[in-house]
Amino acid sequence: MDSIILIAGGVLLGIIIGYVIAKVLEKNNASKLIKNAKKSAISILKEANAEGESIKKDKILQAKEKFIELKSEHEKVILSRDKKMADAEKRTRDKESQISSEIAKTKKLNDAIESKIKDYDYRLDIVEKKQEEVDRLHRSQVEQLEVISSLSAEDAKIQLMESLRGQAKNDAMSYIQSTIEEAKLTAQQEAKKIIINTIQRIGTEEAVDNCVSVFNIESDDVKGRIIGREGRNIRAIEAATGVEIIVDDTPEAIILSCFDSVRREIARLSLHKLVTDGRIHPARIEEIVQKTKKQIDQEIIEVGKRTVIDLGIHNLHPELIKMVGRMKYRSSYGQNLLQHSREVAKLCGVMAAELGLNPKLAKRAGLLHDIGKVPDAETDMETPHAILGMQWAEKYGEKDEVCNAIGAHHDEVEMKFLISPIIQVCDAISGARPGARRQVLDSYIQRLKDLEDIAIGFQGVKKAYAIQAGRELRVIVESDKVDDQKAADLSFSISQKVQTDMTYPGQVKVTVIRETRAVNIAK
């Protein structure tokens, strides 16, 4: 029993001693942790204080720099204000000194004017007294003359006026006669001077239209591709454009022959596109020709716009602009119609300015005077081009002066305005330049047009082209309206009508072409 008690007491004592030892160890650890924490806190505080001091110094330095910057800006503003104030004060002092000098001058002028007014008043009194004396002497002299001549003053005045009137009338008649004679002698000379000055101030190049164009190619190999197998490509081009294509031994060149410059230009541009593209066959040829025709129509409008802009003409109707552009592809006696109209417009503007008339109105009339030479329909060909141009100008809202000048420039109607004879004179000047016109070319072109018109007049004819300088007439008919037998009869009928209605040298070959196509689309 005692042993158990001793064991229990020993165990209890061991527990107590262990507890005490644990507490002592825990206390030591806690004190160490506290010491470490204090050391960390002190180091953190030191670092925070050091960082705070550095931040504080940076902020103070930034604040000082900002203060210095603001101070310098403020000083600049103050200096500029002071300078402005000084300038304003200087200007004010200058104005004050100027005003003072002006006031002094004005005072001197006022004093001088007052003295002159007093002098003038004094002299006016003297003049009035002398005038009264002169009137008194004049009355006494008139009375004495009336007594001597036994005539009253009114009767003498009437006699004197009658004698002076007769003398003045004779002098005036002789002066008028001499003036008229002098005007007759100088009027023609002055008119020639104005015309010569106008011609000298307008310098234009002269270019006579031809009926052939040369299409340059890079090599002669291209000629074979243009001709095609058995000539099918060249026939397709001629049928689509109505232009004769001459492929000869000329190196690197193909000649396009046609009297119609529009068709010739379409053929030239189409050939250029075909050669550039490289695909030359009948279907492609027809496609390119159609696109080129649309391109030429657009180019006509652009040429018209550029022309009116160059001449300074405004508010022209779009249809008239299109007609002006179409002049580029027309000729008058071999002279390019657009170039001729531009030249006439410039001549009219200069001559109108020389005569004191409206140059802009004269330019407008000069540009439009030959628009009747580019008719849209064949029926318009029967009307004289001056009358047709006047009708179009009236239709599209041009002024009466312009319309009359267009219609009267070939004496088709009476001239009613001053610019009308100017247009007529300038048209004659432009056409009379050496080398400007060629009568034979125009009659040749008219003969070819008449040849085509004869063929188009027959029923079933789709197109007609005069080629080889009028020695051959190619007629393309509609296949659904004309069969093979009718094609032969049509060729004979056209040749007979050409033979009876026209005068021409040599022979004219009439070729009727009938083509049948069957087109289907696979979907």
- Measured at the alpha carbon of residue 192, what is the angle toward residues 189 and 193, in degrees to the nearest 5? 85
Question: Among candidates 484, 432, 490, which has minimal Cα distance to 464?
Answer: 490
Give every CB contact of residue 421 below 8 A, 6+ residues apart in sequence: 415
Q: Is the pLDDT of residue 101 over 50?
A: yes
Q: What's the burial of 485, exposed, middle or buried (CB within 10 Å: 0-12/13-18/19+)? A: exposed
Range 374-380 average pLDDT: 59
Q: Are 467 and 503 in contact (CB under 8 A)?
A: no
3-state secondary structure of 480: coil
Residue-wise pLDDT tens digits, 18-53 = 777 887 777 777 777 888 878 888 888 888 888 888
Look at 464 and 18; give whichever has higher pLDDT: 464
Bridge-based pairing of strands 472-477 and 509-514 is parallel
Residue-wise pLDDT tens digits, 173-195 = 777 777 777 666 666 666 656 55
Return mean pLDDT, the chain.
79
Residue-wise pLDDT tens digits, 378-434 = 545 567 888 888 888 888 888 888 899 888 888 888 888 888 888 888 888 877 665
Look at 245 and 126; give whichever has higher pLDDT: 126
Look at 124 and 507; give whichever has higher pLDDT: 124
Look at 227 and 127; give whichever has higher pLDDT: 127
Residue-wise pLDDT tens digits, 324-338 = 888 887 776 667 788
- Please give the share of the chain, as a percent, with pLDDT higher than 90: 0
Question: Among candidates 439, 467, 469, 447, which has minimal Cα distance to 208?
Answer: 439
Question: Among candidates 517, 448, 510, which has minimal Cα distance to 478?
Answer: 517
Range 91-96 average pLDDT: 86
Q: What is the DSSP string of 214-233?
A: EEE-S-THHHHHHH-GGGHH
Range 305-332 average pLDDT: 85
Q: What would you report as the CA-atom Rg of the chain, rounded to the nearest whole angstrom?
A: 54
Range 363-382 average pLDDT: 75
Strands, DSSP E only, in 471-508?
472-477
Strands, DSSP E only, in 162-219?
212-216
Give every CB contact of residue 502 below 8 A, 6+ residues apart in sequence: 447, 450, 451, 454
Prediction pTM value: 0.48
- Range in 31-35, 53-57, 250-254 with the lowest mean pLDDT: 250-254
Q: Are 341 and 392 in contact (CB under 8 A)?
A: no
